[in-house]
Amino acid sequence: MVAQRSGLNKVIYFVLINLFIVFLGMGLIIPVMPTLMREMSLEGSTMGYLVAAFAFAQLLISPIAGKWVDSIGRKKIIVIGMFIFGVSEMLFGLGQDVKVLYISRILGGISAAFIMPAVTAFVADVTSLRDRPKAMGYVAAAISAGFIIGPGIGGFLAEYGTRLPFFVAAALGLIGGVFSLVILKEPEREREEKEGVAKPRFRKVLEPIYLIPMIIILVSSFGLAAFETVYSLFVDHKYGFTPKDIALIITVSGVLGIIFQVLTFDRLVGKIGEIRLIQICIGVSTIFIFAMIKVSAYWSILLVTFVIFLLFDLMRPALTTYLSKIAGNEQGFVGGLNSTFTSIGNIIGPSIAGILFDVHIDYPYVLAMFILAISFVISLFWKEQKIVFKETVK
């Protein structure tokens, strides 16, 4: 690892803006989906397939993109990813045929597959091991903020035109790509590090050092995707919540989660470590998902929702931080694995949750609770890797 100064490198904030833009773009589609359905005479299943197309493309490309991040370079992949994102949003704004919309979402998934491991590897390269938890907390906060703010901005811009949100996202993506090309510099890496990344293989995921965290990544993304997919339906059917109630709860929970994440994540990791934090998050989230089935008062539902979102928002950067520490000279490869298993969970979770919801309103959360309980048991066999702080101040 190249020696680093204490404190976060300011360039991190620029790459985080890129990450925020990409996830903001993902959320823009949510408020305009009903209008697009009417304008283009599309079926609900088609809109679901458009969402799935993004996740499938990200799933397929992530392992390859992770290798390219190591072999081609972090900056180049970030720049390419931002330009692809800009083009995908432009196509969605212009598309009058559903085939064009599919191409747009596929390109969007490819851009996410490029940008996520590239940004994670970039941040790992320019931070010391001591500062990395704080930096990875910011990475998770940028992703969460994009998801939360995206639908709001999309709804506001859609008042002036259904396609306007996508043109704005396209402009932001292309501007981000240009600025990345001009401003970013490829992080320094040891020569032997660059030479050693040419041979990473997917079978490494079967090694215990990677297998358990990848299982937990899959389970956590499955659980969160399942929870979010049926959440609005669950509280609508069970408690009679209005769209305004649902939007308020999700927004308040998300904003409070981001604040808590930014202010406390690195301190928590410093005190108890990534593995213990992940174990606590899994165990407590299992209990609170059970509570979600039982509570009924508005404020209790708000509290339970906030805690569940917060636990997942702490778990994800803890996993990313841990992986960045053990990845060594394969930051991009491991980041690609992270993105791959996240995508699998994002594909499977909503599908199964929707099916179970039709059977019984509580079943999606019962399954999520059961899966998380199993993952908690698995995490108990997770052994801490000894990580030595070798950074010295230049």
3-state secondary structure the chain: CCCCCCCCCCHHHHHHHHHHHHHHHHHHHHHHHHHHHHHHCCCHHHHHHHHHHHHHHHHHHHHHHHHHHHHCCHHHHHHHHHHHHHHHHHHHHHCCCHHHHHHHHHHHHHHHHHHHHHHHHHHHHCCCCCCHHHHHHHHHHHHHHHHHHHHHHHHHHHCCCCCHHHHHHHHHHHHHHHHHHHHCCCCCCCHHHHHHCCCCCHHHHHCHHHHHHHHHHHHHHHHHHHHHHHHHHHHHHHHCCCHHHHHHHHHHHHHHHHHHHHHHHHHHHHHHCHHHHHHHHHHHHHHHHHHHHHCCCHHHHHHHHHHHHHHHHHHHHHHHHHHHHHCCCCHHHHHHHHHHHHHHHHHHHHHHHHHHHHHCCCHHHHHHHHHHHHHHHHHCCCCCCCCCCCCCCC
Quote the tokens at residue 110. Answer: 């490819």
Half-sphere exposure of 390 (CA within 13 A, CB side): 8
CB 74 within 8 A of CB 118: yes
d(CA 332, CA 350): 27
Is 11-379 a CATH 1.20.1250.20 domain? yes
Quote the tokens at residue 182. Answer: 């001009």
Alpha carbon 39 to chain centroid, angstroms: 30
Full pLDDT tens readout for the chain, 394 residues: 343 444 567 788 888 888 888 888 777 776 676 677 778 887 766 766 777 788 788 888 888 888 898 888 889 999 999 999 999 999 998 988 889 999 998 999 899 889 988 888 888 888 877 777 777 778 877 877 787 777 777 777 887 888 888 898 899 899 989 988 988 888 876 544 444 444 445 566 677 777 888 888 888 888 777 777 677 778 877 888 776 677 677 777 777 877 887 788 888 888 888 889 999 999 999 999 999 988 888 888 888 888 888 888 788 888 888 888 777 777 777 877 787 888 788 778 777 887 888 888 888 889 889 888 888 888 888 766 555 444 433 3
Backbone angles phi, psi at 127, to 5 degrees: -125, 155
CB 136 within 8 A of CB 317: yes
